[in-house]
Amino acid sequence: MTFSSWLVVATFVATIAALLKYQSSPGRVFGVVLIFLLLSGQVNQTQMLASVANPGLITLVLLMLCSIALEKTRLLRVIATRVIRPGYNATWFRLFGSISLSSALLNNTAVVATMLNPVRNNPYHPAGRLLLPLSYAAILGGTLTLVGTSTNLVVDSLLRDTAGHGLRFFDFTLIGIALVLACGSLLFILSRWLPDTKIAGDDYHDYFVDVKVDADSKLIGRTIEEAGLRHLESLFLVEVVRAGRLISPVLPTEQIQPGDRLVFSGDVSKVMQLNQFHGLSMFADANGLLSTNLSEVVIRPGSVLEGKTLKDSGFRALFDAAVVAIRRHGERVSGKLGDVELRAGDFLVLAVGQDYATRHNLDKNFIQLSGVEPDSRLHGWREWLAVGGFVCTIVAAAVGAVDLLLALAVLLGVQVLSGTVSANDIRRRFPLEIWLIVSTALMMSFALIDTGLVQSLVTQLDSALSEDHLFALLALVFFLTVILTELVTNNAAAALVFPIAYSLGVGLGVNPMPFVMAVAFGASASFMSPYGYQTNLMVFNAGRYRLTDYIRIGLPISLMYAAVTLTLLPLVYPFG
């Protein structure tokens, strides 16, 4: 091999090693790789520009931005109210079916976030028997269409850049339907072995909001009942922290004293009603942040916040944000918010400052969910525009009436002009990390192809390969993607394996599509770990699951997923 070939191989191997070591910082890893590819001359300026302006990549970014408006509507909340029924089987099938279909078109993280509370707090069934199926349904539903998950669009962007054509909207659907039916049936059988975790009463409270009684408050000396703190809308006073002592439950006759920390539980969107009481202050309010939009996030594994309290972490300086409320599924959070030791999977509501959206450490530490504008959702014609515009755009693109990229660009423009999506929303939710990962992977693909490394390897193997070997190679590509998905991230796994998969097909003189689709489906096969996919992490604490639950249920699902995918790929996309 030439020096340039060795350099490309070393870059590829070093990228995977860095992703394994720095799993919580894939953006930084790919940023370093991007700089090295350019400085070492492995890619040129033209290839760099072609990568960052790839049509498939821009389509992915536009789709994620256009879906923000849907998260502000009642669409998913209406679905949530119709899912829970007294019968477990009826609830399970309604939940699995509605989530699978919703995830085929919508951001599955937003779908799971919306359904989490209704499922967890349902009065009929143990939450543990439903929450893991909720996450798996979202993953499986993403395999139904081109826009079902970001990895499908990542593969589409890579294919467009390499082959000059992309994937069609329903290229995934036939195999996706088989996966939903086969894996869903097995999941229904396995669900009986999920833990009977039922969150009720004192076992769980919603978001916890910590309020301080100022020294000059007019509430001092009055009882909780006299102060009117027992009759708030969707907020409940659960405890008082006084001089390091915890008072819970709080009796109506308890007198308020200066310096008391009042801990409320409930709907964080109702937090502004606390402003009507003289002398009650929150940190966010005192710093002038509470009047801005609130943002809901989940702490990522490996975050610098893990194991630290808000007080010790220097939260405000790190993120230009203040924590308004905290939520920990499956376990009660107690005491002052500043003294709570944070964990991966904790939900936080942040009041954010002007510099919040520009901080480069957000994606490393948080899964960004959505804005939580207090009592502010889309209503009336804006809500109809958000839902109707998105549905019409997707349908028009699906039937080939309009190019998806063009349709999404027009839709986003209409959303901004109509006020359904703000410039703040776009800045806060812009998927910069995904853009960096995919564009860098495209450049790495250029480097691999330009050196002829993969083609040379395939040529050497060509004479020894038979049709049976083709299937073995297909399985190898699929399982390599699955392993990388569990170890790093799904988008990074798809981006790294794609150039190898595509070059294998072309170099062997066969249809490369089975290999391309093996990468796409393999990148969505994350069932055995709470950390491999965002929705798995979101239900981890909520269902009080253990790692063994993911392995016990996820391993059979993964095997079924692999069997269906590898059986159907050569039939739907023949090698010849």
Tell me: pLDDT of 15 over 90: no
Q: Which amino acid is at 305?
A: L
How many residues does the structure list for the chain? 576
More confident of the two residues 104 and 225: 104
What's the CA gap between 465 and 472, in Å, rounded? 10
pLDDT digits (tens, 9 = 90+) for 379-414: 788 888 988 998 899 889 888 888 888 999 999 999
Q: Which domains does the chain have, with CATH numbers?
A: 215-278 (3.30.70.1450)
More confident of the two residues 570 and 16: 570
Main-chain phi, psi angles of 377, to 5 degrees: -130, 165
Pick the range with the lowest mean pLDDT from 419-428, 452-461, 469-478. Answer: 452-461
pLDDT digits (tens, 9 = 90+) for 313-337: 888 888 888 787 788 765 666 666 7
Q: Burial level of 517, CB count in 10 A (0-12/13-18/19+)? A: buried
Half-sphere exposure of 328 (CA within 13 A, CB side): 11
Confidence at residue 203, expressed as pLDDT on a 0 to 100 scale? 37
309 DSSP assignment: B
- Two tokens, residue 194: 């999920």
Confidence at residue 464, expressed as pLDDT on a 0 to 100 scale? 54
Helix spans in 234-326 (H): 283-286, 310-313, 315-319
The closest of 57, 62, 56 to 390, measured between CA atoms, is 62
Pair 271, 325: CB distance under 8 Å:
yes
What's the CA gap between 420 and 70, in Å, rounded? 9
pLDDT digits (tens, 9 = 90+) for 202-261: 333 466 777 889 998 989 999 988 887 865 656 778 788 888 787 877 888 899 999 898
- Two tokens, residue 391: 């549905």
User: 157 vs 34, 160, 175, 439, 523, CA distance in Å?
Assistant: 18, 5, 20, 9, 15
* CA-CA-CA-CA torsion sign (446, 451, 453, 459): positive
| Category of 259 on φ-ψ map: left (φ > 0), alpha (ψ -120 to 50) or beta | left
Confidence at residue 281, expressed as pLDDT on a 0 to 100 scale? 79
- Two tokens, residue 517: 């689709």
Pair 337, 323: CB distance under 8 Å:
yes
The closest of 503, 470, 480 to 570, measured between CA atoms, is 470
For residue 216, give every residue at least 6 positions away whose Cβ sits within 8 Å of its Cβ, in sequence order, or none.
279
Pair 142, 103: CB distance under 8 Å:
yes
514 DSSP assignment: H
DSSP run (H or E) holding 44: none
More confident of the two residues 270 and 101: 101
* CA-CA-CA-CA torsion sign (125, 127, 129, 135): positive
What's the CA gap between 407 and 392, in Å, rounded? 9
CB neighbours (10 Å) of residue 123? Answer: 8
Tell me how far the alpha carbon of residue 300 is from its chain's centroid.
Answer: 11
The closest of 57, 71, 55 to 390, measured between CA atoms, is 71
Pick the range with the lowest mean pLDDT from 60-74, 426-440, 460-474. Answer: 460-474
Pair 57, 463: CB distance under 8 Å:
no
Confidence at residue 139, expressed as pLDDT on a 0 to 100 scale? 94
C-alpha angle 75-67-430 in degrees, rounded to nearest 5:
145
pLDDT digits (tens, 9 = 90+) for 338-352: 778 888 888 888 877
The closest of 550, 497, 523, 543 to 119, measured between CA atoms, is 543
250 DSSP assignment: P
Q: Burial level of 427, CB count in 10 A (0-12/13-18/19+)? A: exposed
Confidence at residue 477, expressed as pLDDT on a 0 to 100 scale? 92
Convert 199-230 into a string of H (helix), E (strand) and C (coil): CCHHHCCCEEEEEEECCCCCCCCCEHHHHCCC
User: Across-strand partners of 265?
Assistant: 208, 236
What's the CA gap between 20 and 505, in Å, rounded? 27
CB neighbours (10 Å) of residue 325? Answer: 27
pLDDT digits (tens, 9 = 90+) for 137-156: 999 999 999 988 888 888 88
pLDDT digits (tens, 9 = 90+) for 497-526: 888 888 888 877 889 999 999 999 999 998
User: 300 vs 69, 178, 296, 347, 538, CA distance in Å?
Assistant: 24, 32, 13, 10, 10
Look-up of token digits 């300026």: 45
- Two tokens, residue 505: 């097909």
